[in-house]
Chains A and B, each alone.
Chain A
Amino acid sequence: MRWWLPDAGSTFAGPIDTLFLAILIITGIALVVVEVGLVTFVIKYRARPGRKAFYTHGSTRAEVIWTAIPAVTMVALGLISNHYWVLMKDKKSIPPNAYHLGVHAKQFEWLVTYPGPDGKLGTADDFTVRNQLHVTVNEPIAVELTSEDAIHSFFVPEWRVKQDAVPGMHITAWFQATKTGEFEIGCAELCGMGHYKMRGRVFVHTPEDYKAWVAQQAAGGTE
């Protein structure tokens, strides 16, 4: 049983989890203030014979305060978030040295196209593997997402990566894995009856292992 976000597996996880925690604290405080207020008022000011409510139409000062505080907090939060948002999603932020892979989503499979030994997509030695994403650890990876039919969404929880694959669009999402091992790809956008079965596996290799795997695949062997 996990009570928190999945274990961090990419460079994005750090800032996102920190931001998540920060918001959790801010909202936590707000929540406590409100709920404690409610409960105390409910107990303290419950109707009793002889009591009469205090007749007031409100206090401008109080209202200014509880308008200003959220406003400032939210703007600050917005600015911080935007910094990381641009870092993660903006096209310009994709590292020039990123290793490009093609991920083609169709009902209900992920078809991953690898550049092959020459490291370039769109050449003769490319090869495609179904539902398996193999990448190198600590190397920026850019997946070029396309879709065959409906809208799908490429989601790897450990990497904090999610990007819709939209038919007719060519969207590039980048990330950098920090942990070797095996993870899972899920589809996060309803894409039909087999939506839930659109499961792929992610293998994060050391550079050597990855080279070996590519060589073996290029040779045409399946495992």
Chain B
Amino acid sequence: MLEFFNSTQTIHTIIIIGSMCLFFIGFYGIATQKNLVKVLVSFDIMESALFLFFIGLHYQVGLVAPIVDSNLKTFTNMVDPVPQAMILTTIVIGLAVLALGLSFGIEYYKLTGRNDISKMNELRD
């Protein structure tokens, strides 16, 4: 029973389904939510789904993490390190954007008392 879960195929399936769910939660959020904070959170959820998807698909059963310590003597038998590095970077960037967005939101809220993005339309034709 548990062996079933231990196969790469299954893990990938679970990850794909899970990340897709997450992605569509995020998608639903940006499609329906108009509160700036909620929109930003939705984006974050979407991004997380992508990260999960990407990292998960590169995991294979029996491989170790690409960290040089006692378990890893040679550069074989390890998970591809590139996606992990990429995702780490992307997470940082995502964080920066999120922080900037939130700070804009706060400033804007202070000035106008509004946080509904569909009503931010002083700039328009």
Same assembly: no
Measured CB to CB, the residues of A under 8 A from B are none
Measured CB to CB, the residues of B under 8 A from A are none
